[in-house]
Chain A
Amino acid sequence: MFAAAADTVYFGVFLTLLSYYIGNIIKKKFKSAIFNPLLVSVILILVYILATHTSYEAYNNGAKYISYFMTPATVCFAIPLHQQMKKLKENKAAILMAIIAGALSSMTSVLVIAVLFGLTHEQYVTLLPKSITSAFGFGVVEELGGISSITVPVIILTGAVGNIFGPYLCRIFRIKNRMSVGLAYGSASHALGTSKALEIGELEGAMSSLSVVISGLFTVFTASFFAAIY
């Protein structure tokens, strides 16, 4: 039965939608951010795949059509940006400086960890683009010769971590300015952080969207410099 299911195209689509839906129900029931629908969904699918000896290829044969919506969804970040364009223009210098500081702190921290743990160059560049959205990160890691099958999940899990811990981090770091909240979400946890920022408010969402674009661009053009250091 499991083999017959894995042989269909809609199996991967259905399993993804159902597991995410279950994740949503669990999140509502326990009212805790720790039960992130994305994480719950991934764990449920992994358990299913391992328990039924289904291959990732069989799952992704259908699930890839869900990934296909990632690009148009990212394109839609233009909408909150457009809605908040006035605020963005008023504060452009401060916004730009903060996003660049965020991107530099991300790559510098990865460099420090690589030195401390004596990572190989391949492992180091695999982790280097971890804060930028996966379309950017995939390009960077391919160019620098890292392991993209690790980079992409690390990027997405970074997004989930920012999404889950963001509210606590705002409290700990006393980030109260609405624009700063958005910049922090977008710089630390790219598109997935932005989906959380959009839940908080449109201004937060717009700042977070802008961070995804700027920190992605900045990282693309400076990652090779960081790769040359270690």
Chain B
Amino acid sequence: MKYLKQFIIIFGATFLGEIVHKVLPFPIPASIYGLLILLALLESKVVAFEEVKDVGEFLLDIMGITFVPATVGIITAFDQLRDFLIPILLVLFVVTFIVFGITGRFSQFLFERRHK
């Protein structure tokens, strides 16, 4: 029953995250509260790494699939999409490249400077 226990811990943290999301007025999604709750459980050693390892690996592995249905949802917004397709493509490619480059280079600069 090791999987059952692992599912209970992870879905328990998710469930608690959802409650916190409903109670607190901040625009922070349930998944982030859940992440912080699970992290607190692991850091305080209430939950051991081994107690979430297998199901955690499984869920992280299928992460990509969970985004498929919402992406297919683009079909419902085709008409509005056509109005600004070029800027959208620029945002998708150019902006992503810029953010990737700036974050990577800037952090590398900071790390190298620290370790000199």
Which residues of chain A are near B92, meaning CB under 8 Å?
A: 130, 154, 157-158, 161
Name the residue of chain B whose CB is nearest to the CB of A205. B60
What band does the interface of chain B fall in when counting residues whose beta carbon is under 8 Å from A? 35 or more
Decide if A78 touches B39 in the complex (CB within 8 Å): yes
What band does the interface of chain A fall in when counting residues whose beta carbon is under 8 Å from B? 35 or more
Which residue of A109, A133, A153, A157 is within 8 Å of B98 (Cβ)? A109
Distance of B42 from chain A, by nearest CB (Å): 4
Task: Encode contact with A along B19-57: 1 for CB under 8 Å, 0 otherwise.
Answer: 000000001111110111111001100000100110010
Contact flag A216-B77 (CB < 8 Å), given A67-B69, A114-B87: no
Decide if B75 touches A46 in the complex (CB within 8 Å): yes
Decide if A173 touches B81 in the complex (CB within 8 Å): no
Q: How far is the CA of A169 from the CA of B101 in the complex (A)?
A: 7
Decide if B90 touches A102 in the complex (CB within 8 Å): no
Interface residues of B in 79-116 (CB under 8 A from A): 80-81, 83-84, 86-88, 90-108, 110-112, 114
Contact flag A98-B67 (CB < 8 Å), given A109-B95, A169-B97: no
Which residue of A72, A140, A161 is within 8 Å of B96 (Cβ)? A161
Q: Looking at chain B's contact residues, is the secondary structure mostly helix, strand, loop, or mixed?
A: helix
Contact flag A169-B75 (CB < 8 Å), given A70-B66, A130-B91, A179-B111: no
Q: How far is the CA of A94 from the CA of B111 in the complex (A)?
A: 7
Name the residue of chain B whose CB is nearest to the CB of A102. B103
Decide if B91 touches A113 in the complex (CB within 8 Å): yes
Contact flag A135-B30 (CB < 8 Å), given A81-B39, A154-B92: yes
Decide if B102 touches A102 in the complex (CB within 8 Å): yes
Q: How far is the CA of A97 from the CA of B110 in the complex (A)?
A: 9
Interface residues of A in 184-225 (CB under 8 A from B): 184-185, 187-189, 191-192, 194-195, 198, 211, 213, 216-217, 220
Q: How far is the CA of A117 from the CA of B90 in the complex (A)?
A: 11
Q: How far is the CA of A98 from the CA of B109 in the complex (A)?
A: 10
Which residues of chain A are near B49, meaning CB under 8 Å?
A: 79, 82-83
Contact flag A56-B35 (CB < 8 Å), given A79-B53, A82-B42, A173-B101: no
Contact flag A72-B34 (CB < 8 Å), given A49-B72, A123-B83, A220-B27: yes
Task: Encode contact with B along A153-166: 1 for CB under 8 Å, 0 otherwise.
Answer: 11011110110011
Decide if B14 touches A71 in the complex (CB within 8 Å): yes
Decide if B66 touches A73 in the complex (CB within 8 Å): yes
Contact flag A101-B102 (CB < 8 Å), given A59-B72, A73-B60, A195-B60: yes
Which residues of chain B are near A95, meaning CB under 8 Å?
A: 107
Q: How far is the CA of A117 from the CA of B107 in the complex (A)?
A: 31
Q: Which residues of A contact B (CB under 8 A)?
A: 12, 16-17, 19-20, 37-38, 41-42, 45-46, 49-50, 56, 59-60, 63-64, 66-79, 81-83, 85, 91, 94-95, 97-99, 101-102, 105-106, 109-110, 113-114, 117, 119, 123, 127, 130-131, 133-136, 138-140, 143, 147, 149-150, 152-154, 156-159, 161-162, 165-166, 169-170, 172-177, 179-181, 183-185, 187-189, 191-192, 194-195, 198, 211, 213, 216-217, 220
Task: List 6 additional A-B contacts (Cβ < 8 Å) besides A158-B92, A217-B32.
Answer: A42-B72, A69-B59, A75-B13, A94-B110, A135-B32, A150-B74
